[in-house]
Structure 1
Amino acid sequence: MVPRAFEPELRRFHPIDDSANSGSGVSLVEVRTRYAGRCAGTGAPGVPPAGDRILDLGAGSGRDGAVLRLLGEVSACVDGAPVELGHPKQLCVLAALGVEHGRAVPIERLVERVWGGAAPRRGHETVHSYVSRLRRALGPLDGVTIVRRPGGYALTADTTPAAVDLYRFEDLRAQAEADTDDERVAVRLSEALALWRGRPLTGPAGDWVEAERERLEREHLATRLELIETRLRLGQGTRLVAELAVLAAAHPYDERIAGQYMTALHQSGRTADALGHYQAVRARLAGELGIDPAAPLADLHGRILAAGPPGPAPVPPAPVPRQLPPSIRDFTGRADHLAALDALLPPADGRDGGHAVVISALDGSGGIGKTTLAVHWAHHVQHRFPDGTLYTNLRGYGPGRPASADEVLDDFLVALGVPAAALPAGPGAREGLFRSLLAGRRVLLVLDNANSDEQVRPLLPGTPGCMVLTTSRDSLTGLVVTEAAHRLTVDLLTEPEALRLVTGIIGPARAAAEPEAVAELIALCARLPLALRIAAGRAAAHQHVSVADIVAELADDHSRLDALSWGRDPRAAVRTVLGWSYDRLPPPQQLLFRRLGLHPGPDVSPPAAAALVGRSPHEAHLLLRALADAHLIEPVAGGRYRFHDLLRAYAAERAREHDTPADRRSALDTLLTWYSHTAHVADRRLYPASTRLVADLAEPAHPHALADREHAWAWFTAERANLVAALHHAVAEGRDAHAVHLVDAFGFLILMGAWEERIETADAALIAARRSGDRAHEANVLLARGEALTHLKRPEAEADLVRAVELAREAGIRHIRISGLNDLGQWLRRRGRPAEALRHLEEALALSRGVDTGRWEAILEGIIGDVHADLGNHRQVLEHGERSARLRHRIGDADGEACALAVLARGWQGIGEHDRAIAHCRRAIALGRRSLGSQDATLAEPLAILATSLHRLGQVAEAVACWREAAAIYADRGLDADAAAIHDRIRAARSAVAG
């Protein structure tokens, strides 16, 4: 206990209430106990009193919440995302306003600060422009803006002055100056210095910026020296010796630094070194400047000389804590992550200066290897942290209750030398004492398995020199935004890394003996490190079991997770590890996670996810983001999300366990309805004049709007794999209506040149159509397949098209019959049977008159014109081409009009009118480039015709360029024969020129 004789002194500094439960002040018993704890400590100088109500060192932890930063690179951020502030001169305007602390800066002064004596003629207007852009850039920043005042422009931060780091720095300095308590002063000054991120005003350039930068750096040094002075008054000289040695070497004539260095040496028991340093400074000043040390330094020398060595020998310090768990022997890969962590290390020479605490947040899904990576790296670098390595498992995910900050702080404080009996009672006091003990030390903290930002924040140091490495399944976005943490996501292993891991476990000989099985094992484990270790570990533990045997167990989707567990350790079971993440989700997120396991495609958009759970797309997007933050799904391009295969298997398993078959079927029906409806909406945007077999589709609860052709094309491009997967799933599950409705909107595959995929989807849909007994749908699918086979010049196309025409005639579906006759005519034309082709095409033309908008009539006029061009009937080509172009233009079919113009160009070319042919081709190409026809042979045909006429007129270079573009389009569409024919023409043209 504290001697009672000291109580009057305690009452001078702390409000003491002698009644135990009054609620005001601090009880005398508590003060005695806490000061006793201090007296019973390690004896290390500078350990502060530990009462939370006596002094809460947790207040003002030095963490920077600024969104506009001037103390380092001039930058801004909103929600952790950087804001684009413009080029260096624009940044100079922002800096010139920022350093004035809300005071108006005249335009003339801004011009001078930006350009010096070389201002441009319209410098005032340029500054106005810069200010306008900066206002827009700063718009999202809360409370920070540029205002016009009578005296010029001013940067204001009225509502949140802490949003500008320079203003926060000045505010903390003012608080420290006004305070009389050295411990609080030290905290405030530490917080102020922690705001600095390098040289101030980095980014802009010029004489004014350089002068202002030097002024701010002098303020930084003055603040740093004031903090050192305060800590020396607190008796913390031992911890300051290394820092002051560096400062003394950098500022050999600064007598204040020399005095601080001498004081620190004396406090640490190195009085002789302190006196020796004085003599060295005195000799330097006399020899180089011809002066003696000033009175304050000389007086300090006298006091140290008179005092002699300080006090009795200190109590031996507590052992340096090294708490890391063992590193894994066969750690594999992660070179990029290790390099990124290395880049964050504080300087090895201990010159941390104004740098903030470095915080790195490793996030990733369960079993991804975050802890393994963190522990491996920490072992590799802990020599850089001479004052210790602290480690804790926060148990954020896993069995049992998550660790509280109080528990962890107690453990850390004991590890740092505080006796258990002297631990403070309140959480604020624990945090304050923890930060005080870490001040001036170089300690690495590994906070493993956190579940939230709030679990981590109380464990963060408050001053530079330390580094914190956290791991979590949560993205810890709050730490990124408010603590400037460096986020590093740990992903699945690469194929080579996974192979090295498995080979290291089972041995090179077994891996070489079964290479295909090893590759399959890696794929089935989704390159998840935990799964790979379990599967490969089973092979290593049982030499009689082949890798292929384990692969056979893993291949069954329903039992894969059973195979990925080992023994009774819950951490060695993929299902259990993933379940720890799932169990922490609120019910709406759990439902979406399970429903995503039912989705047949490789990824999902928010609107599709909304269909699965019966919510709005906005609500679904928020749920998806939450699942991504928990690393149960991962974001991909275009605002979409996906699983890795083991998480998909786990989600599907949870769906089978928790949802009834009726619920699962209903969710998938809703999803397929959404895909089918949206596909037809997009199809009508691409082909507005087309007639589809499916006319009256069920509308989903939240229809997906597609404004125009570009949006439709983008949607088809993004959803292509999902649509194909949905179709195959519908067929496999006997949802025949969904299958035939979907395939009816798959014309986009033709635009993409995906002929093989068009055939595969038609093959699948044909099963559903025949199973349903609907001849119209069977004809429709045969027509789709026959069209693709025709483009690929496959002989089986003819049978499909003939059968499609017959079925359409029987079912009375006129537009399918017309389409089938058209495709059959084109097939016969390609086979060199023009007379037969004309017969079928003219039959189709007769059927098409008066049908729909006239689109089919326009198409057939153009195709018949092409057949006449093949036959050399050029006048008929012009007649049919004119009718086709007129009809196409009337119905607003730009792609079709381009095709008709190409037919006319062939006609004019055939009779030798190459100028007219060229004019028609250029019009066709212009139309094609403005529409989605540029995705199809629509553009290639007029390019090829144009090239031929240009070549005939001797314009060989432009002709070759047009042929090359046409060939590239054909090749991209998979029409290799057409592309090859074009290349033959190019070679012939070049040979003629060379000859």
Structure 2
Amino acid sequence: MTAHQQEVGAGPVTFGGRLRELREERGLSLAELARATSYSKSYLSRVETGRRPGNEALAAACARALGVAPSRLGPPDAPATTLAVRETLTPAVPARHLPARLPSVQLPPLQLPPAPGVFAGREAALAELDGALSSARARWGEGGPRVWVVDGMGGVGKTALAVHWAHRVRDRFPDGVLFGDLAGHGSSGAPREPGEVLDGFLRALGADTGLIPPGVADRSALLRTLLAERRVLLVLDNAAAPAQVRPLLPGAPGCVVLVTSRTRMAGLVVRDGARRVTLGPLPEEQAVRLLRRTLGAERVDADPAAARELVLRCGRLPLALLVAAERALSRPGLALARVNEELRSDRTRLHVLAAADDGDSALRTVFSWSYRALAPEPARAFRLLALHPGAALAAESAAALLGTTAGNARELLDVLADVHLLEVEAPERYRFHSLLQVYGRELAEGRDPARDRAAALDRLFDWYRQGADAAGRLLEPGARPAGAAPLPGVRPPVFAAVPDAVAWCEAHLADLLSVIRYAALAGRPPAAWQLPFALWSFFHRQHHRAEWLNAARIAVAAAADSPDPRALTVSLVLLGTAQAQAGRPVEAEIHLRRALERCAADRTDPESECAARNHLAELMLRQGRAAEALELLEPALPLSRTLGHRRVERVTLANLGDASLRLGRLADAERLLLEALSLRSTGPDHRTEGLALLHLGTVHRALGRLPQAVGCLRRALELHRAAGDRWAQGRTLEQLGHAFAALGRPADALPPWREALDLMTETGDPRAATLATVLGSTPGTTPGSAPGGPGSAPDGPGRRAVTAGPDRARLGYRSGT
């Protein structure tokens, strides 16, 4: 008789007794067996002493850990007696509510709904959830409950992911899987009460139905009791709030809880240590994979471009993709391109994305469940914010749309983000999903008066214009504003310095372009031409050539319908300048001359005439047409002086100096440039001053005043760096290298030339090729071989220049601003 048999008395050896004998034979402690099987030490002790029955899953786990066949342990014992069950109950449950018994035969509950018929992607999220089972984490029986929250917008596939994962890992939970739809958002009405869900769980776990406590707290305590020594997965789907979930949480460390919700469930994270897995739209490749599994690879591969467009039209949202795929499957002859055509219009897209026989699968219905849960103020904010022509929002732009303060707007944005009607794109940046924005606009058109919607958009357009104007005044001090004073309720952005202004324009560039396009389509000419005009300096400084060109074209088309007489002239100058910067000189000259013709016919806009003359002259200087440029600029100087606008006068003088320099009139050039530098604008004008110093440094170099040339060029470089003008930095560094080479300091010439080459390549400067050729073919630099030095001209490879006199080629310089 074994020691164990002597301890418990003679009689048949129980499952627990056989387990203890085998464990002791192999020299394993109870703690070591617990680690090997992932069952708690206390649970195994109760099994060995007969106070808890074994089960098939436990037998298999112990047999593997002990290295024996399961038959060595024999069949598990019969279920525990009533007394044994009562011993496991916690005192938190009143005695009158203790279950008299559990069923003598109780299969583990497996309440999961069927796994999703089609599932693709989500590898990262699945791997994160697998972390709940990782052996690197605390073993079963240690630590607290493991709670995971899968959150995201409606239709993003939260339930599909949760059910798919639960099916994948259910064998890790030998005591069962509980599933509860908490109906937090849906067509069934109010969310389910925790007490109702608890009743179902307790019944599934075998509690005596007649003795389940009536109160939520007592039911919650009983659930924790019944799960105390079990390993169960609880899937709580579609939760509305942490308060609905918290009574359903087990206390057992052997259980895992997976919650899905449209809200972020911050309370569970903060108070209950939950881990959050947030789902966004599927990555494009995973979305295409989902289509392939739904429609079949042959149909998707037959037109991959149409499949990718369908993915984008559906916003990479799994529910939308499945509905669209069903539409295509129900009509086998329907090409994917035809489905895309049905989805192109925002007005019909949500109607198309509706399953004909299942209202709960319609995108509009799914979205409505989130919207209906909002209080009136966030609901109004959702509708008006959806009117934004772009998808991204900041607190300040939202405040303009809503006619409120930035602080209040931020609170409303956070409320909408918490329920995934907006997504947080970056700190202080929010974004609409394309389909949610369509839904919000539908609601706005149906519930908000037209005058309210128009007023919201007017405030938004004005906020962007005021911000672009403020940025432009910093980038080009003294530049005329694009529009009037701010509208009531609009709080314009304020910038402390140039970098702040540039950062604002960069951050909002996509939205600014969306506003420009929308304003033109909506028949709002002021916004469509004033915004591109206000962004002029930013476009030029940051070399956003394609964006500048597109915005300028829209401005010209919109200005033709504007009652403002200067609108078309200003926009033609803007378009001509954009085309010049984009390397389209013929088109640029056509539009700049059209602007001049309008100025000649109507002398009411001298500032636009000065701008047209200067920009056309700069284009000519780039083409080597210095004499034409000089002739064009001469009338601009007295005109600029009549304006009393120092910055315009300074620009004109700098361009006249450049033209004189190119024509070899060095004395005239020096006089004009010194006069330009003597003028003081209303604020710092680094760009114009830097260009004047660049030209003056070139004059000094041509006249042999090399130390003065170096001084001017170094100061010009400082100003261009302060202004952030990388094109001008490249040109200045090139000239500085020439000056060092002429001084006989080739080692000093090489660093500025190398930096100049990098900048010229970055900004698309055509002189980069010449500089690269010289630097690449010259192991050492001498004054005679320096680019732009006496031995060669930088205007083109192979051009020779004289060694003395103010020859244009010898100057090694071509202007352009």
The answer to whether the Cα contact below 8 Å between 1:348 and 1:384 also exists between their aligned partners in 2 is: no
| 2:142 aligned partner | 354
Deviations 1:815-853 (A, max 9, x none): 211111111211222222211111222221222236445
Deviations 1:843-875 (A, max 9, x none): 212222364452122222222222233233334
User: d(CA) in 2 for partners of 1:243 and 1:756?
Assistant: 76
Query: For residues 604-753 of structure 1, what are the structure 2 equivalents within 5 Å?
Result: 604-692=393-481, 694=483, 696=485, 698=487, 700-747=489-536, 748-753=538-543
The answer to whether the Cα contact below 8 Å between 2:459 and 2:487 also exists between their aligned partners in 1 is: no
User: SS where residue 282 of structure 2 aligns?
Assistant: coil
| 2:79 aligned partner | none
Query: For residues 942-957 of structure 1, what are the structure 2 equivalents within 5 Å?
Result: 942-953=732-743, 955-956=745-746
User: SS where residue 526 of structure 1 aligns?
Assistant: coil
| 1:441 aligned partner | 230
1:819 matches 2:611: yes
User: SS where residue 977 of structure 1 aligns?
Assistant: coil
User: d(CA) in 2 for partners of 1:546 and 1:265?
Assistant: 66
Per the TM alignment, residue 568 of structure 1 is displaced from its structure 2 partner at its CA by 2.8
Identity %: 37
The answer to whether the Cα contact below 8 Å between 2:115 and 2:164 also exists between their aligned partners in 1 is: yes
1:869 matches 2:657: no
Query: Which consecutive unaligned segments of at least 5 residues does structure 2 have?
Result: 1-15, 55-86, 88-100, 786-817
| 1:899 aligned partner | 691
| 1:345 aligned partner | 133
Pick which of 887-896 and 527-536 moved more: 887-896
Deviations 1:716-766 (A, max 9, x none): 111112222212222222212232332331211112212232222222222
Per the TM alignment, residue 538 of structure 1 is displaced from its structure 2 partner at its CA by 2.0
User: d(CA) in 2 for partners of 1:927 and 1:554?
Assistant: 52
Letter in 1 for 2:355: W
TM-score (norm 1): 0.67
User: d(CA) in 2 for partners of 1:589 and 1:263?
Assistant: 55
| 1:41 aligned partner | none
Query: For residues 316-465 of structure 1, what are the structure 2 equivalents within 5 Å?
Result: 316-345=104-133, 347=135, 351-400=139-188, 401-465=190-254
User: d(CA) in 2 for partners of 1:454 and 1:754?
Assistant: 51
Per the TM alignment, residue 460 of structure 1 is displaced from its structure 2 partner at its CA by 1.0
Deviations 1:247-281 (A, max 9, x none): 544999xxxx999976662233799xxxxxxxxxx
Query: For residues 241-260 of structure 1, what are the structure 2 equivalents within 5 Å?
Result: 247-249=30-32
Letter in 1 for 2:409: A
The answer to whether the Cα contact below 8 Å between 1:869 and 1:907 also exists between their aligned partners in 2 is: yes
Residues 1:782 and 1:490: Cα distance change in structure 2 (over 3 Å): same
> Which of 502, 519, 543 is the aligned partner of 2:291?
502
Query: For residues 111-510 of structure 1, what are the structure 2 equivalents within 5 Å?
Result: 247-249=30-32, 265-268=48-51, 316-345=104-133, 347=135, 351-400=139-188, 401-510=190-299
Deviations 1:904-937 (A, max 9, x none): 21112212333332222222222332x2x22442
Letter in 2 for 1:752: Q
User: d(CA) in 1 for partners of 2:114 and 2:454?
Assistant: 49
The answer to whether the Cα contact below 8 Å between 1:321 and 1:416 also exists between their aligned partners in 2 is: yes
Residues 1:665 and 1:900: Cα distance change in structure 2 (over 3 Å): same
> Which of 776, 788, 805 is the aligned partner of 2:596?
805
Per the TM alignment, residue 645 of structure 1 is displaced from its structure 2 partner at its CA by 1.5
User: d(CA) in 1 for partners of 2:604 and 2:645?
Assistant: 19
Query: Which consecutive unaligned segments of at least 5 residues does structure 1 have?
Result: 1-236, 272-310
| 2:571 aligned partner | 781
Per the TM alignment, residue 553 of structure 1 is displaced from its structure 2 partner at its CA by 1.4
Residues 1:246 and 1:462: Cα distance change in structure 2 (over 3 Å): farther
TM-score (norm 2): 0.81
Letter in 2 for 1:483: D
| 1:576 aligned partner | 365
User: SS where residue 795 of structure 1 aligns?
Assistant: helix
User: d(CA) in 2 for partners of 1:260 and 1:732?
Assistant: 71
User: SS where residue 417 of structure 1 aligns?
Assistant: coil
| 1:277 aligned partner | none
User: d(CA) in 1 for partners of 2:320 and 2:103?
Assistant: 50
| 1:755 aligned partner | 545
User: d(CA) in 2 for partners of 1:270 and 1:488?
Assistant: 37
Letter in 1 for 2:595: A
User: d(CA) in 2 for partners of 1:412 and 1:259?
Assistant: 24
User: SS where residue 449 of structure 1 aligns?
Assistant: strand
Deviations 1:601-628 (A, max 9, x none): 2312111112222221111111111111
User: d(CA) in 1 for partners of 2:733 and 2:508?
Assistant: 31
> Which of 942, 962, 965 is the aligned partner of 2:755?
965
| 1:212 aligned partner | none
Query: For residues 562-601 of structure 1, what are the structure 2 equivalents within 5 Å?
Result: 562-601=351-390
The answer to whether the Cα contact below 8 Å between 1:691 and 1:815 also exists between their aligned partners in 2 is: no
Residues 1:875 and 1:699: Cα distance change in structure 2 (over 3 Å): farther
The answer to whether the Cα contact below 8 Å between 2:43 and 2:229 also exists between their aligned partners in 1 is: no
The answer to whether the Cα contact below 8 Å between 2:478 and 2:681 also exists between their aligned partners in 1 is: no
Letter in 2 for 1:805: L
| 1:796 aligned partner | 587
Per the TM alignment, residue 638 of structure 1 is displaced from its structure 2 partner at its CA by 4.5
> Which of 710, 716, 726 is the aligned partner of 1:924?
716
Residues 1:269 and 1:882: Cα distance change in structure 2 (over 3 Å): closer
Per the TM alignment, residue 421 of structure 1 is displaced from its structure 2 partner at its CA by 0.7
> Which of 657, 674, 677 is the aligned partner of 1:885?
677
User: d(CA) in 1 for partners of 2:223 and 2:34?
Assistant: 32
Per the TM alignment, residue 451 of structure 1 is displaced from its structure 2 partner at its CA by 1.1
User: SS where residue 142 of structure 2 aligns?
Assistant: coil
User: d(CA) in 2 for partners of 1:251 and 1:680?
Assistant: 70
The answer to whether the Cα contact below 8 Å between 2:198 and 2:220 also exists between their aligned partners in 1 is: yes
Query: For residues 505-584 of structure 1, what are the structure 2 equivalents within 5 Å?
Result: 505-584=294-373
Letter in 1 for 2:620: L
> Which of 614, 620, 634 is the aligned partner of 1:828?
620
Per the TM alignment, residue 690 of structure 1 is displaced from its structure 2 partner at its CA by 1.8
The answer to whether the Cα contact below 8 Å between 2:182 and 2:236 also exists between their aligned partners in 1 is: yes
User: SS where residue 579 of structure 1 aligns?
Assistant: helix
Per the TM alignment, residue 346 of structure 1 is displaced from its structure 2 partner at its CA by 5.5
The answer to whether the Cα contact below 8 Å between 2:730 and 2:760 also exists between their aligned partners in 1 is: yes
User: d(CA) in 1 for partners of 2:700 and 2:393?
Assistant: 51
User: d(CA) in 2 for partners of 1:511 and 1:500?
Assistant: 9
Residues 1:527 and 1:314: Cα distance change in structure 2 (over 3 Å): closer
RMSD: 3.1
The answer to whether the Cα contact below 8 Å between 1:776 and 1:807 also exists between their aligned partners in 2 is: no
Deviations 1:200-224 (A, max 9, x none): xxxxxxxxxxxxxxxxxxxxxxxxx
The answer to whether the Cα contact below 8 Å between 2:353 and 2:363 also exists between their aligned partners in 1 is: yes
| 1:218 aligned partner | none
The count of corresponding residues between Structure 1 and Structure 2 is 711
The answer to whether the Cα contact below 8 Å between 1:853 and 1:891 also exists between their aligned partners in 2 is: no
User: SS where residue 469 of structure 1 aligns?
Assistant: strand
